[in-house]
Structure 1
Amino acid sequence: MQTMIGVIGGSGVYQIDGLEGASWVRVKTPWGKPSDEILVGRLSGVPMAFLPRHGRGHVHSPSSIPFRANIDALKRLGCTDVVAVSAVGSLRADYAPGDFVIVDQYIDRTFAREKSFFGPGCVGHVSLAHPTCPRLSAAAAGAARAAGVRVHEGGTYLAMEGPQFSTLAESRLYRQWGADVIGMTGMPEAKLAREAELCYASVAMVTDFDCWHPGHEAVDVAAVIATLTANAGAARALVAGLPGLLGGVRTPCPHGCDRALEYALMTAPDKRDAEVLARLDAVAGRVL
């Protein structure tokens, strides 16, 4: 099987440099339109697909991002591994603006988003005990270090609904819960990637200290953008290093990400809704 790397770019990361044969393609999905067209091409001989999470020009708010369509589109194109890049605030003094965090856990506080491909007509339950892929996360960490970034391997991402930033009371509470970084787009993206049997890694770029830090001002968009601009080059260098670390030949995931649906479907085959199954052709076709 051939490796195909999908990159979901967050705030400040809107392109991949050096893609050979690059073209923007429109992908139709049963879940509506993705955030934008998807840039496909090859990097160091490995097929890649780039999707700007908020759309070019940043037209989607965190709550309006079509997460299901985005993940379906990447799976439909043949992606095997998805690396998601996003901007976050830090809830720890030692995770400073400019640092990258390789997320391995989440606390999902979002409430206004569709969070599953499954439901009435075909019920499925996947494991999210370990919501990111250790193999892909290690590759992302290695690529980040090679790009000259200070990297923290492991961190809990508090996903908030937004679009407003936290209150001071909320920021303090999330620190007490043990969250390390806070953002608005990590969920349900990671959940949907698991349901689609995609290896998924999250690279969180720290832009600020949220509002808990007594030595810093409240979160300011101008300051966030300034840090994002400084980080963007490192993020692109990280992406450029992934093909060499992952290679062109895709072997089965040692952690089972690509077999997440093996025992997940609960609805009896004779009770499954044909229309629902048709919508699941890309994400769950292997088990259906």
Structure 2
Amino acid sequence: MIDPILGVIGGSGLYDIDGLIDRRWVRMETPFGEPSDELLFGTLDGQRLVFLPRHGRGHRIPPSNINFRANIHALKEAGVTEVVSVSAVGSLRADLHPGTFVIADQFIDRTFAREKSFFGTGLVAHVSCAQPVCARLGDALEEAARELKIPCRRGGTYLVMEGPQFSSAAESELYRSWRCDVIGMTNMPEAKLAREAELCYATVAMVTDYDAWHPDEGAVTVDKVLKVMQTNAESARALIRQVAPKLKDRNAFCPEGCEAALEHALITAPEARDPAMVEKLRVVAGRVLRG
């Protein structure tokens, strides 16, 4: 029997969740360091929920300094089973206007300054990221967005850049030539780590601007982004309230196989595994390490 707990990772502009009852902020420690902030525990329309502001309350942490491993580890340790990630992005398509929510289903990872795996020397694993998001969660998010009449696009490729600078015009045109749909700075390695932690994961990419390619829009600036961000954050809070009840009745394993991502991923022979690494990965990979 599954007891689903919804985890929400809030991106730029989303630092709290409305409507939670039995609210409590809890500081958590992990073997990978401190998460971005305390975790907010509560219940939303009968669904247990844990919220984590990705950049910390007040937006203190830039993308490259986010401790993604600690964030995902803390959510896993808190009992979270499904993760909805919310992030601000730029649009690489003329038909994806600011205010549109894109439920992305693919990523291109262009980051280079981040720790990207829980595993390493002493305990090696290779998970599949061919389908990096949970279609079941995506279905629920799409349904909720349609019900709220939030402009929504199901599917799309999210290019994750390192940042913190915005793209050059040449970079923006390059990513368009790759047929990417949106660009942001935060969903990698987050999605990869969620897969390693055997968590269902889906992302809501909230368009704030047209990156640097649009001939009529000019360069991306923080003031332009902030103008759209407030409206997007209000819509995101409404979306979370709408989707939470849709997830509370799951009573079977995810048909997408998210909860078994590590089933055949460990490659280090049991007798060669570093005991310290095994202990460090007890929360993330304990299901497959107990045998």
Query: Which TM-score tier does this pair reach, normalised by the shorter chain?
Result: over 0.9
For normalisation by structure 2, the TM-score amounts to 0.98
Q: Which amino acid aligns with 1:191?
A: K
Residues in 2 aligned to 1:76 and 1:260: alpha-carbon distance in whole angstroms: 17
Deviation, 1:143, is 1.6
| Alpha-carbon shift at residue 242 of structure 1 (Å) | 1.8
Equivalence for 1:21: 22
Q: What is aligned with 1:70?
A: 71
- Structure 1 residues 34-113: aligned runs within 5 Å: 34-113=35-114
Deviation at 1:144, TM superposition (A): 1.8
* Deviations 1:121-150, CA, capped at 9 Å, x for gaps: 100000000000000011111122222211
Partner of 1:132: 133
Q: Secondary structure at the match of 2:223?
A: helix
Offset at residue 107 of structure 1 (A): 0.5
Q: Secondary structure at the match of 1:282?
A: helix
- Cα distance in structure 1, aligned partners of 2:56 and 2:206: 19
The answer to whether the 8 A contact 1:40-1:49 is kept is yes
Residue of structure 1 in register with 2:201 after alignment: 200
User: In the alignment, what sits opposite 2:164?
Assistant: 163
Match in the other structure for 1:236: 237
What residue in structure 2 maps to residue 281 of structure 1? 282
Structure 1 distance, partners of 2:147, 2:28, is: 33
Shift, 1:217, TM fit = 1.3
AA matched with 1:196? A
CA distance in 2, matches of 1:263, 1:65: 29
Return the letter of the residue paired with 1:193. A
2-structure distance, mates of 1:287, 1:118: 13
- Counterparts in 2 of 1:237-256, with a 5 A limit? 237-256=238-257
Q: Residue 257 of structure 1 corresponds to which residue in structure 2? A: 258
Gap regions ≥5 residues in structure 2 = none
Normalising to structure 1: TM-score of the pair?
0.99
1:213 equivalent in alignment to 2:252: no
2: CA distance between counterparts of 1:274 and 1:98?
Answer: 49
Deviation at 1:151, TM superposition (A): 0.4
- The 8 Å contact of residues 122 and 276 in structure 1, kept in 2 or not, is answered as yes
Counterpart contact for 2:46–2:245, Cα < 8 Å: no
Q: Residue 113 of structure 2 aligns to a residue in which SS?
A: coil
Tell me if the contact between 2:46 and 2:248 (Cα under 8 Å) persists in the aligned partners: no
Quick one: which amino acid aligns to residue 143 of structure 1?
A: A
Identity %: 61
CA distance in 2, matches of 1:248, 1:187: 29
CA distances 1:206-248 after superposition (whole Å, capped 9, x unpaired): 0000010101111010110110101111100100112221124
Tell me the amino acid that sits aligned with residue 155 of structure 1.
Answer: G
**Offset of residue 40 of structure 1:** 0.3
Give how far 1:104 is off: 0.3
Q: Distance in 1 between matches of 2:92 and 2:109?
A: 16
1:151 aligns with 2:152: yes
SS of the equivalent of 1:285 reads helix
User: Residue deviations 1:174-195, cap 9 Å, x none?
Assistant: 0001110000001000000000
1:7 corresponds to: 8
Which residue does the alignment assign to 1:175? 176
Tell me which amino acid in the other structure corresponds to 1:252.
F
Equivalenced residue count is 288
| Unmatched runs of 5 consecutive residues or more in structure 1 | none
Whole-Å separation in 2 of the counterparts to 1:102 and 1:72: 24
- The 3-state SS of whatever aligns with 2:95 is coil
